[in-house]
């Protein structure tokens, strides 16, 4: 009897944690207004433990990335695309440094999407996005994305309503096409609270070394918070598809957001399970002989 009881305790303490990709996925009925930006979903631990857990993931991420690249050299066509969206100060830069920075930069294709240039404007909104897609074996990273075309564009009426309304469907078709061609898409929204944003913006003004980041327009954007919230809610509701779901990451705690995005990448790469190519077109023994004799 004593044994039985002990076994039960062991089982519960060893219960697998819910994967971040399940816990953070914006499913049916998801409500951004009800999502807590301070949450530490799917992680039991404090900041120190979170930072350690992040540091511990680097080598596996690097190994999986190298496998993905190696696989593509033989017959692979697969790649990974991380899409990062979020309000100003939500921590996109920190994700680039601390999460994407764990990868070998040779295999990363990074694109930051700014206000479209005149040249970009001459094409449809997905033109510049297609150019940023990763090739086989690469990890693509979008710092902002085609979603700006239904976010800032919608909030500021940069195109007629009828036009942006048609874009959700175009985005879903585009992403379906991209995933069908072998690219796994991980879409992340860094979710911060207006209070946290205020504190982060104030810090930029308090610190001379952060003044270069200051953009007076950020305060104007802040005043449109509810409009952005509605635009994000629609983008998430309409474009969280089976092929490319949205993950909403609580981002008031920077350490947690970095840990969560890193885990999302790790879980997706593990599921892709890239393999070292084994059908090389040379004979190892012969090559060893030739090398030794050289």
Which spans of this chain sit near Mg ion (rule: CB under 5 A)?
A: 88
**What, of Mg ion, ligand AMP, none, does residue 252 touch, CB below 5 to 8 Å by kind?**
none
The DSSP annotation for 254-290 comes to: HHHHHHHHHHHHHHHHHHH--------SS-HHHHHHH
Which of 149, 175, 196, 252 binds ligand AMP (CB under 6 A)? It is: 149
Distance from C-alpha of 157 to C-alpha of 145, rounded to nearest angstrom = 18
The residue range among 4-12, 27-35, 141-149, 274-282 that interacts with ligand AMP, by the rule CB under 6 A, is: 141-149
Distance from C-alpha of 182 to C-alpha of 176, rounded to nearest angstrom = 10
**What, of ligand AMP, Mg ion, none, does residue 71 touch, CB below 5 to 8 Å by kind?**
none
x/- mask, ligand AMP, residues 69-108, rule CB under 6 A, reads: ----------------------------------------
45 near ligand AMP (CB under 6 A): no
Which of 30, 110, 113, 228 binds ligand AMP (CB under 6 A)? It is: 113
Structure tokens given for 101:
């920075």
Residue with smaller CB distance to ligand AMP, 224 or 238? 224
Which of 42, 53, 152, 230 binds ligand AMP (CB under 6 A)? It is: 152
Asked if residues 62 and 262 have their Cβ atoms less than 8 Å apart, the reply is no
Distance between terminal CA atoms of the chain?
70
Q: Tell the residue number behind the tokens 């207004």, with chain if given.
A: 33
Q: How far is CA 142 from CA 104, 108, 169, in A?
A: 17, 11, 20
Q: Tell the residue number behind the tokens 């479209």, with chain if given.
A: 116
Which of 1, 14, 33, 115 binds ligand AMP (CB under 6 A)? It is: 115
Least CB distance from residue 230 to ligand AMP, whole Å?
16
Query: Can you give the binding site for ligand AMP, defined by CB under 6 A?
Result: 113-116, 144, 148-149, 152-153, 158
């Amino acid at each position: 009897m004593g044994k039985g009881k002990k076994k039960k305790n062991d089982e519960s303490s060893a219960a697998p944690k819910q994967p971040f990709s399940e816990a953070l996925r914006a499913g049916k009925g998801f409500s951004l207004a009800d999502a807590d930006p301070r949450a530490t979903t799917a992680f039991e631990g404090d900041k120190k433990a979170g930072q350690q857990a992040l540091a511990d993931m680097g080598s596996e991420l690097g190994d999986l990335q190298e496998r993905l690249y190696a696989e593509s050299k033989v017959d692979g066509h697969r790649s990974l695309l991380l899409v990062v969206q979020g309000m100003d100060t939500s921590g996109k830069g920190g994700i680039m440094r601390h999460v994407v920075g764990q990868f070998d930069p040779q295999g990363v294709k990074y694109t930051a999407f700014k206000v479209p240039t005149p040249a970009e404007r001459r094409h449809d909104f997905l033109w510049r996005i297609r150019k940023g897609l990763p090739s086989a074996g690469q990890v693509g990273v979008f710092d902002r994305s085609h979603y700006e075309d239904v976010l800032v564009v919608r909030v500021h009426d940069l195109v007629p309503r009828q036009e942006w309304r048609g874009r959700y469907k175009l985005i879903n078709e585009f992403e379906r096409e991209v995933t069908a061609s072998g690219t796994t898409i991980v879409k992340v929204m860094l979710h911060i609270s207006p209070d946290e944003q205020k504190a982060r913006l104030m810090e930029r003004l308090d610190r001379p070394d952060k003044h270069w980041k200051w953009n007076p327009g950020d305060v104007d954007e802040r005043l449109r918070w509810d409009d952005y919230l509605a635009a994000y809610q629609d983008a998430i509701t309409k474009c969280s598809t089976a092929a490319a779901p949205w993950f909403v990451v609580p981002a008031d705690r920077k350490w947690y957001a970095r840990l969560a995005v890193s885990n999302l990448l790790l879980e997706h790469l593990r599921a892709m399970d890239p393999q070292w190519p084994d059908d090389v077109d040379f004979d190892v023994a012969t090559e060893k002989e030739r090398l030794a004799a050289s």
